[in-house]
Structure 1
Amino acid sequence: MQAVVLAAGEGTRLRPLTEEKPKALVEVDGRPILSHCFDRVVELGADELLVVVGYKKEKIIDFYGDEYDGVPITYTHQREPKGLAHAVLTVEDHVDDDFMLILGDNIFEANLDDVVRRQREDRADAAFLVEEVPYEEASRYGVCDTNDYGEITEVVEKPDDPPTNLVMTGFYTFTPAIFHACHLVQPSDRGEYEITDAINLLLQSGRTIDAIRLDGWRMDIGYPEDREKAETRLQEGYDPETDEAVATSE
Structure 2
Amino acid sequence: MQAVVLAAGKGTRLRPLTDDKPKVLVEVDGTPLIEDVFDNLIDCGATEFVVVVGYKKEQIIDRYGDAYEGVPITYAHQREQLGLAHAILQAEPHVDDDFMLMLGDNVFRGNLADVVNRQREERADAAFLVEEVPYEEASRYGVLDTNEYGEVVEVVEKPDDPPSNLVMTGFYTFTDAIFHACHLVQPSDRGEFELPDAIDLLIQSGRTIDALRLDGWRVDVGYPEDRDRAAERLSESADAAAVDTGEEAVAED
Q: Smaller-chain TM-score range?
A: over 0.9
Correspondence list, 1:99-114, <5 A = 99-114=99-114
More displaced, 100-109 or 139-148?
139-148
- Correspondence for 1:115: 115
- Correspondence for 1:53: 53
1:13 Cα offset (Å): 1.1
Give the conservation status (yes or no) of the 8 Å contact 1:100–1:116.
yes
Q: Does 1:20 align with 2:20?
A: yes
SS of residue matched to 1:90: helix
Q: TM-score, normalised by structure 2?
A: 0.93
More displaced, 195-204 or 171-180?
195-204
Q: Does 1:197 align with 2:202?
A: no
5+ residue gaps, structure 1, are: 239-244
Q: 1:120 and 1:14, CA in 2 relative to 1: closer, same or farther beyond 3 A?
A: same
Q: Does 1:214 align with 2:251?
A: no
1:236 Cα offset (Å): 2.3
1:114 Cα offset (Å): 0.8
Q: 1:74 and 1:150, CA in 2 relative to 1: closer, same or farther beyond 3 A?
A: farther
Q: Does 1:225 align with 2:222?
A: no
Give the conservation status (yes or no) of the 8 Å contact 1:151–1:208.
no
SS of residue matched to 1:233: helix
Give the conservation status (yes or no) of the 8 Å contact 1:76–1:90.
yes
- Correspondence for 1:82: 82
- What is the one-letter code of the residue matched to 2:205? S
Identify the structure with the greater helix proportion.
Answer: 2
1:108 Cα offset (Å): 0.4
Give the conservation status (yes or no) of the 8 Å contact 1:8–1:55.
yes
Q: 1:86 & 1:2 partners in 2: Cα distance?
A: 19
Q: 2:92 & 2:9 partners in 1: Cα distance?
A: 19
Give the conservation status (yes or no) of the 8 Å contact 1:150–1:210.
no
1:246 Cα offset (Å): 6.4
1:220 Cα offset (Å): 0.4
Q: 1:86 & 1:150 partners in 2: Cα distance?
A: 29
Q: 2:24 & 2:151 partners in 1: Cα distance?
A: 31
Q: 1:3 and 1:151, CA in 2 relative to 1: closer, same or farther beyond 3 A?
A: farther
5+ residue gaps, structure 2, are: 247-253
1:149 Cα offset (Å): 5.5
Q: 2:78 & 2:62 partners in 1: Cα distance?
A: 17
1:146 Cα offset (Å): 2.7
- Correspondence for 1:141: 141
Q: 1:208 & 1:248 partners in 2: Cα distance?
A: 40
- Correspondence for 1:176: 176
Give the conservation status (yes or no) of the 8 Å contact 1:126–1:173.
yes
CA deviation map 1:32-61 (0-9, x unaligned): 000000000011111100000000000000
Give the conservation status (yes or no) of the 8 Å contact 1:236–1:248.
no
Highest CA radius of gyration, 1 or 2? 2
RMSD: 1.6
1:166 Cα offset (Å): 0.3
- Correspondence for 2:159: 159
Q: 2:130 & 2:29 partners in 1: Cα distance?
A: 25
Give the conservation status (yes or no) of the 8 Å contact 1:182–1:195.
yes
Q: TM-score, normalised by structure 1?
A: 0.94
